Amino acid sequence: QVQLVESGGGLVQPGGSLRLSCAASGSIVSIYTMGWYRQAPGKQRELVAIITNSGNINYADSVKDRFTISRDNAKSTVYLQMNSLKPEDTAVYYCKIVNIGGGYWGQGTQVTVSS
């Protein structure tokens, strides 16, 4: 089993920044991908950014050039640096890892962008 603990969400004004962290523990072997997803009220969960074990990265078009995903393999942690935040970025953000055992989700952290 894998446990994921997210942190870093909160309330920020438009144009501000936040950094999300997601630390994995448990049977964290052979991780294939680490990623961030988000779900706004009344909408489906969507991919924000994903990074593979070889370092390949993909972003949703809506966050390109504003968000940066990174990972620290030694700490089994994935980060999401979010800059130039917009009200439409408001959502619950979830991390997900996929390893040889399957896919695992974090509990989610709320990000609210509002003046």
Other CB atoms within a 10 A radius of the CB of residue 25 amount to: 11
Alpha-carbon gap, residue 71 to 59, rounded angstroms: 15
Alpha-carbon gap, residue 20 to 22, rounded angstroms: 7
Amino acid, single-letter form, for residue 65: D
Tens digits of per-residue pLDDT, 13-39?
999 999 999 999 887 778 889 999 999
Q: What is the DSSP letter of 74?
A: G
Q: Which residues of 69-97 are buried (b: 16+ CB within 10 A; e: fewer)?
A: bebeeeebbbbbebeebeeebbbbbbbbb
Helix, coil or strand: residue 73: helix
* Tokens found for residue 106: 């974090």
Tens digits of per-residue pLDDT, 61-115?
999 999 999 999 889 899 999 999 999 999 999 999 998 888 999 999 999 999 9
